[in-house]
Structures are given as structure tokens and as C-alpha cells.
Amino acid sequence: MGAVVCSPEGTPWEAGGAAEELRPRGDLLTDPHSYHLVGISFFILGLGTLLPWNFFITAIPYFQGRLAATNNTAGTLYTNHTGPADTFNFNNWVTLLSQLPLLLFTLLNSFLYQCIPETVRILGSLLAILLLFALTAVLVKVDMSPGSFFSITMASVWFINSFSAVLQGSLFGQLGTMPSTYSTLFLSGQGLAGIFAALAMLMSMASDVDAQTAALGYFITPCVGILISILCYLSLHHLEFARHYLAKKPSQAQGQELETKAELLQSDEKNGILNSPQKTALTLDLDLEKEPELEPEAPQKSGKPSIYIVFQKIWLTALCLVLVFTVTLSVYPAITAMVTSSTSPGKWSQFFNPICCFLLFNIMDWLGRSLTSYFLWPDQDSRLLPLLVCLRVLFIPLFMLCHAPERSRLPVLFPQDAYFITFMLLFAVSNGYLVSLTMCLAPRQVLPHEKEVAGALMTFFLALGLSCGASLSFLFKALL
């Protein structure tokens, strides 16, 4: 077998013969496009998993408008300068009822994943989400009392996020058998979901159609996105590269990935690439993955990984993940959605919150998640990671002291728009980076055969952090 080299896109290829003709490695893929199509599919699946959550929270002004309007079909997709009164505490309830089922069903998915086939869990969840979002779109045209509309919407939020939890847990389990690159692509897709929702909101606001038609178009958009996600998942089973990994056990897939990384490193050294970011990342992977082979726990490979032992290894990283999401969900969107522009009423004040809260947050969050593709700092042994995570607690009082008119206790210390924008920039990029960093570091702290358990545990603690933050949002809003 010839030496392994990399194409410009990083795909493993096999070199041989005098002409140095490159052809795909037979043990990895037979179709050179398969490698990239799998990445695109997981990116879109990541996008699809968070579309429901992002489309609901971005449309908070629409729901508040409908709940406050006398004619209950009069809600619009944007607020006025002061914003409609949050009569039902909609932004708090939609956050809480989105995250509680995520916590419960993520835990349930961990215990029952062997009872229900993976394909049934993933496709069934996607189809259920599609139908429930179609119901949300239909309700735009239905006239009903605020109380009935609130109850139906909350029930829909609960069930949509229950299926989303099953979907995310199942997809993270599949990603445990794939090379780590695909986990990063999946997380980047999740980050892009918020940008997609915010842009859809802005396009609806800027359109010349009436409020009902704009809202209907807005809620039909995620239905199309979920449908595309279904097609992407179905396509994975027709791609050689995906079948190669998904048909293997996590430990076998990890061994294949480690072998590929070793060969790529040898190729870099032969070509004189000594300090490239790719080589640094590969070296770190090899060091972290080879060393555990010498540990006394290696004989456990033949048995089922212990959840307790895996938790002992990743507890600090898991705690950091919980705290990151607790801080984020305690103020976003419950507090941040209340902040308005301090300028006089006009176009800027109308678009201020959709742009500076939702769009800005999601762009910077996606950027933060994407940064881990280039470097992972600090590493899992550094005490700097818990310190950075704890410092994010400062964002809670900073946002609470911004220009949110609906308050009765706290003063406004940061009235200018520039303060809120600056806080949001730092808040969002730190959230995305630290979430992606902790999710990437956890599997590096365990043995290869324990990686799937570590991934499942991190998914549970991710949901725990979201639920804790959503619960605290009620307290912080009451303190305003």
C-alpha cells in the first residue's frame, strides 16, 4: 500500500505507482464525493435539530402580540418601541418547557436507546417535529382566545422539544462512531440554526405582506428545513463513507480514526509540514488516545463501560458545560428579549432586538463554536477553563441593568445601545466556544471504548444546564 496523503480538502487518499496517481482509499470510501456529502448531511442535521427552538424564541414578539391582542389573530412578528406586555410570561415558559423535556427525554433516551432502533428514533422524531410545526403554522390563521392559544402553543413546545431531545441524543450517539470532524460540523450546524431563524424573522418583518401572511411564511420555513433534514438522514445510508463508520462499534471506529490520523501525521512529516494547525491537532489526538492504552483500566475494554468511572473522569468538564448553559438560558431570551433601543421610535428601534439580540447572538455563537476547528484552548487539564466559565456569571447583572423598560426594582445603568451590543458580542462568542470546547474535550479524557458513554453523559449535562438556566430565568425576571 502506498503512503497516505491529503487532498486540499483533507480527504484521505492512497498514492501509488510511478505517476503518483491519487485514488480513494478502498477501506474508507469508494466515492470521493461521499466524504464531503456525509459532512454536509451532518451539518444540515445539526441545523435541523435546533430549528424548532430557535424559531420559537425568535418569534417571541409574535406570540406576545397574539396573547395581548384583543383580536387574537392580530399578532405581528415584531414589537413596537416599548414592546407588548408579556401577560403570560411567555418568554420564560417557552424557555422552561423547551428545556425540561430535553432533560427528561435525554435521560430516557440514554436508557432506552437499545430498545428502539436508531433509524426509528431519528426518522420518527423528525416526522413528529414536522407535523407539530405544521400545526403551529396553521394556528396563525385560526382565531381563538389568548388562554387557548397559550395552552396549545405550550403543549406544542413541550412535544416538539421532547422529540428534539430524542433526536439529538440519537444523533450524538451516531457521531460517537464517526471521526471527530463530523461532531464539529454537527455543532456548527446547530449554531447556524439560530442565524437562519433570525434572518427568516427579519425577512418577514421587512416584507410588504400583511402580518398574518408574514407569520405564516415564517413558520412554514422550518417545516421545509426539517423536510430537508429527513432527506439528508435518508441519504446517509446510501453513502459508502457513512456506512463504513455507522456499521461499526464505537471502539472499532475509533481505532480506524486513530490509524488514519497516524498515517496523515507521517505524510505531513515527509512533506516537511512541521507546524501546521492540522498536525498540532492530530498530534494532540494521538497523545491523548494512545496514553490511556497503558492504564490499568484497559482490560475493561471487553466489558460494558461503567457510567460512574466515566463520570469520574469528565465531571469537571461536565460541570463547566452545565454552568455555561445555566448562565446563558437564565438571561437569554427571558431578559435580553425585553431590552429595547434607547433611541426615538423608528426603523432602528423596530429592528433593534431582532438584530442585536437574536441575530447577533446566533452569529457570534456560531463563530465561537467554529473556533474549536482551529484550536482547543485551554486544554482539559488547565484550571483556566473553570475560571473562564465562572466569569460568565457577570453577564447576568450586566444584562439586567440594560435598557429594559418593563422593570420595577433595578435601575438602568447601561441605557445606550452600544453597551447591550458589546455585552451580547462577548456573551455569545464565549457561549459558543465554551460549549463546543467542553463537548470536544470530554471524549479526550476517557478510553476509546468509553467515548460513547461520555458523549451520552455530556448530552445529559447539556440538557441539565439548559433546564437550570430556564428555571432561573423566572427569578431574574422577577428581580427586574
Q: Are residues 77 and 4 in the same domain?
A: no
pLDDT at residue 69, rounded to an integer:
65
| 282-299: pLDDT as tens digits | 333 444 444 444 344 444
Residue 275 has pLDDT above 50, yes or no: no
Q: Are residues 25 and 113 in the same domain?
A: no
| 192-206: pLDDT as tens digits | 888 888 998 888 888
pLDDT at residue 113, rounded to an integer:
65
Helix (H) or strand (E) holding 4: strand 4-6
Q: Are residues 329 and 234 in the same domain?
A: yes
Q: Which of 354, 39, 364 is nearest to 184 (CA)?
A: 39
Residue 332 has pLDDT above 70, yes or no: yes
Model confidence at 241, in pLDDT bands (50, 70, 90)?
Answer: confident
| 351-380: pLDDT as tens digits | 999 999 999 999 998 888 888 878 889 987
Please check whether residue 158 lies inside any domain of the structure. Answer: yes
pLDDT at residue 319, rounded to an integer:
96
Cell numbers placing 288: 491523548
Average pLDDT over residues 465-469: 93
What is the residue-averaged pLDDT of the chain?
78
Q: Are residues 15 and 73 in the same domain?
A: no
d(CA 440, CA 137) in angstroms, rounded, equals 36
pLDDT at residue 381, rounded to an integer:
79
Average pLDDT over residues 209-214: 80
Lowest mean pLDDT among 274-283, 315-324, 393-402: 274-283
Q: Are residues 45 and 99 in the same domain?
A: yes
Model confidence at 249, in pLDDT bands (50, 70, 90)?
Answer: low
Residue 262 has pLDDT above 70, yes or no: no
pLDDT at residue 286, rounded to an integer:
40
pLDDT at residue 317, rounded to an integer:
94
260 vs 193, more confident:
193
Q: Are residues 205 and 149 in the same domain?
A: yes
The number of residues in the chain equals 480
d(CA 323, CA 139) in angstroms, rounded, equals 36
Please check whether residue 266 lies inside any domain of the structure. Answer: no
pLDDT at residue 255, rounded to an integer:
45
15 φ/ψ angles, rounded to the nearest 5 degrees: -105, 140
Report the DSSP beta bridge partners of residue 23. 14
pLDDT at residue 384, rounded to an integer:
93
317 vs 58, more confident:
317
Residue 326 has pLDDT above 70, yes or no: yes
All residues at 6 or more sequence positions from 46 whose CB lies less than 8 Å from its CB, including other chains: 171, 185, 186, 187, 188, 189, 190, 192, 193
Model confidence at 272, in pLDDT bands (50, 70, 90)?
Answer: very low
Please check whether residue 295 lies inside any domain of the structure. Answer: no
Lowest mean pLDDT among 27-36, 57-66, 127-136: 27-36
Domain CATH number, residue 326: 1.20.1250.20
Residue 155 has pLDDT above 90, yes or no: yes
Q: Are residues 416 and 428 in the same domain?
A: yes
Residue 187 has pLDDT above 50, yes or no: yes
Q: Are residues 20 and 139 in the same domain?
A: no
All residues at 6 or more sequence positions from 295 whose CB lies less than 8 Å from its CB, including other chains: 447
Please check whether residue 318 lies inside any domain of the structure. Answer: yes
Contact 51, 232 (CB under 8 A): no
Q: Are residues 79 and 9 in the same domain?
A: no
Residue 320 has pLDDT above 90, yes or no: yes
Total domains in the chain come to 2
pLDDT at residue 231, rounded to an integer:
93
Please check whether residue 257 lies inside any domain of the structure. Answer: no
Helix (H) or strand (E) holding 21: strand 21-24
Please check whether residue 47 lies inside any domain of the structure. Answer: yes
Q: Are residues 92 and 202 in the same domain?
A: yes
pLDDT at residue 424, rounded to an integer:
98
Model confidence at 104, in pLDDT bands (50, 70, 90)?
Answer: confident
| 394-409: pLDDT as tens digits | 999 999 999 998 888 9
Q: Are residues 13 and 120 in the same domain?
A: no
Please check whether residue 377 lies inside any domain of the structure. Answer: yes
pLDDT at residue 456, rounded to an integer:
76
Please check whether residue 268 lies inside any domain of the structure. Answer: no
Q: Which domain holds residue 217?
A: 34-247+301-479
Burial of 187 (0-12, 13-18, 19+ CB in 10 A): buried
Average pLDDT over residues 431-459: 87
Number of CB atoms found within 10 A of residue 276's CB = 11
Cis peptide before 61 (omega within 30 of 0): no
Contact 171, 113 (CB under 8 A): no
User: How much is the pTM?
Assistant: 0.74
| 35-92: pLDDT as tens digits | 788 888 889 998 888 888 888 888 887 888 888 865 555 555 654 444 445 678 888 8
Q: Are residues 40 and 17 in the same domain?
A: no
